[in-house]
Amino acid sequence: MHFMFEGVELEIVFLGTAGSTPTPDRSLPSIAIRRRGELLLFDCGEGTQRQMIKAKLGFPSKFKIFITHLHGDHIFGIPGLLHTLSLLNREKPLEIYGPKGIKDYIEAIEETVGLNLNFTLKIFEVSEGLICDCGDYIINAVWVSHSIPTLAYALIEKPRPGKFYPNKAKALGIPRGPLWKKLQMGFEIKLKDGKIVKPEEVLGPSRPGLKVVYSGDTGPCEKLIKLAYKADLLIHECTFDDSQAEWAYEEGHSTPSSVAKIALKARVKRLILTHVSARYKNTNVLEEQAKKIFSNVVVAKDFMRIELKHADL
């Protein structure tokens, strides 16, 4: 299944969409986001590196991993992935972010299995708030409602410079070329006569970037609504259908109706359901229940790809 948006800047690839146990059709949780040559991996279920190979993602030098929580189905793929990267002679440092305990887990693997990595591993134990500032985008996180400490993450692009107006640049005597490019990037310039031209003199209002939110495992959660507010895409776990609501909430999971209400309150543009229990060979029931409340929703499948573009392009 492949969806095209109105302007491609991000590609989301669903590597694993099962919950707890794999099935013949679904691998364990892992979602990759490709952005301008960088790969961001959210959760790393068993066999993730094989899924990456099948999806033809490669293993780029610019690579970060974000772990939502320390349940096995979300982290058991880390040892295999690290081993594969080492065998491929990776040299660039690899950053891994996750809640407290992720460092002990990875160090235990290194001590017992002896991965002998030939690259630097940078492990960050993180909490709620700004996780990292990556130049033109940030990663934010909040604690959500699960049986152990669990984070939801938001990739938020910073506002982009406004639309460039060539006629205004020409009227100001700015020659076409590098100076135009500099203004388009939001930098002021100095002309030969000493005149300073500010970007706002030739640009329209700044334009919002894209926003993608991934929930990990969680029951209904107000913090997630705030994190996902006006997101272009919300990827949310949906382990059980509505008939299993009581059981779902006891286990810190969600149902289609509860997720759809979150999407509606958060005013997101699109909703993707993932982390599907093995009991659902046919996921139509999940999609149908969610659509009664929020229409723009689908259930993820392994290797489903979504491309996001800026709407103003």
Query: Known catalytic residues?
Result: 73
The Cα–Cα gap between 12 and 56 comes to 13
* Gap between the Cα atoms of 248 and 57, Å rounded: 33
What does the alpha-carbon distance between residue 277 and residue 240 come to, in Å, rounded to a whole number? Answer: 6
Q: Which helix (H) or strand (E) holds 237?
A: strand 233-237
Report the C-alpha gap between 212 and 202 in whole angstroms: 30
In contact, 218 and 237? CB cutoff 8 Å: yes
Written as six digits, the tokens of 64 are 């970060």
Residue with tokens 């700044």: 206
Distance CA 273, CA 289 (A): 12
CA 33 to chain centre: 6
Query: How many Cβ atoms sit within 10 Å of the Cβ of residue 34?
Result: 19
